[in-house]
Structure 1
Amino acid sequence: MSTQKPHAISTHLIKASPEIVWKFLTDAALLNIWWLNAEKLAYKCSTDLKVFGIFRTILEHKQNKTAYDYLYLEIIPNRRLTFTSALMPDLSPGNPALAETISFDLFEIEQGTRLVPDLKAKNFSELETIASTSAHRAWIYNLTTLQKLAEQMQAEINQLKNQMPVPTRPAQP
């Protein structure tokens, strides 16, 4: 019997540096723009970017607020980010209905960054539920939005760099 957990991996080639992609994965203001925003719902993200820190998303719908907490497990700046809903900050079990672990691997390539998100679920039925609902479409939409925004930011930075005058040394007497 295999002990490997079911997971869904995708690959995204982003024409932006790993540093820019990392910002979109870790900066709360940027997360609020693209994370879980496919249906234009009122999500708010907050981050405490440290191992065992909390990544929280709050859905505000009408008079209700629902918080989803993830615990950061692995943080390698500009390379790898892993968080899970399977554990709480005190390391007790998390929400069993939403026990998932998400990893983002970033690889620097000539054209920018190869981003490889990996969603691990506790069992195949949970993964099938995610894949068969709008959650999967939203996930793809959100990653596509992240890609477009990161590429736009990289283009703006490149444009600013090209506009900056090249410093010259003063003439020697």
Structure 2
Amino acid sequence: MTRTIEQTLHIRARPETVWRFFTDPARLARWWGTAELDARPGGTLRVAMHEGPRPVMRGQFVELVPYERLVFTFGWEPTPGAPGLGPGASRVEVTLTPDGDGTTLTLRHSGLPAPLEEETGGGWAHLLPRLGEAAATATD
């Protein structure tokens, strides 16, 4: 049986700004890791983590609705220390909703094996505030 985690964060930046932190490799690197990406349906998403055992996340973009919603597959390249979830084996949905002075980001990660639910939730709980800080201080 697979699990789903959901996390929500208010970010002091417009949805257009937050969107760029998922679709621009230089901006994505400021909060997640060194990225190679092609932000279109079917395009690749590869992120080399900056921390821990430095695993590499790999997936594909499934859906992109500018400034509102992104969906991508998610998994890890087989390397020592990487979680046991193959590339593209799970799914991440990110929804951006205008909210007063910023954006409410809702992240829903589904298709997780039960043993990875807590670790993955902790990973997003660490990364999303970094995204929030990067987007809130963006000058573009």
Please indicate, yes or no, whether the TM-score normalized by the shorter chain is above 0.5: yes
SS at match of 2:67: coil
Matches within 5 A, 1:1-173: 6-35=3-32, 43-59=33-49, 67-85=56-74, 97-98=85-86, 99-122=89-112, 126-131=113-118, 133=119, 135-153=120-138, 156=139
Could you say which structure has the larger radius of gyration? 1
The code of the aligned residue for 1:17 comes to R
**Alpha-carbon separation, structure 2, partners of 1:60 and 1:145:** 13
**Alpha-carbon separation, structure 2, partners of 1:60 and 1:33:** 10
Higher relative contact order (CA 8 A, sep 6+): 2
Q: 1:75 Cα shift?
A: 0.4
**Alpha-carbon separation, structure 1, partners of 2:123 and 2:56:** 18
Q: Deviations over 1:125-173 (max 9, x none)?
A: x244231x3x4333212100111111112xx46xxxxxxxxxxxxxxxx
Identity level (%): 25
Q: Deviations over 1:89-133 (max 9, x none)?
A: xxxxxxx833210110001122211100110025xxx244231x3
TM-score, with structure 1 as normaliser: 0.65
SS at match of 1:16: coil
Q: Give RMSD over aligned pairs.
A: 2.6
> Structure 1 unaligned runs (5+)?
36-42, 87-95, 158-173
The code of the aligned residue for 2:67 comes to N
How many pairs does the alignment contain? 129
TM-score, with structure 2 as normaliser: 0.79
Partner of 2:78: none
> Structure 2 unaligned runs (5+)?
76-83
With over 3 angstroms needed to count, the CA separation of the structure-2 counterparts of 1:46 and 1:109, relative to structure 1, is same
Quick check: 64-73 or 7-16, which moved more? 64-73
With over 3 angstroms needed to count, the CA separation of the structure-2 counterparts of 1:127 and 1:77, relative to structure 1, is farther
**Alpha-carbon separation, structure 2, partners of 1:28 and 1:13:** 22
SS at match of 2:85: helix
**Alpha-carbon separation, structure 2, partners of 1:69 and 1:26:** 15
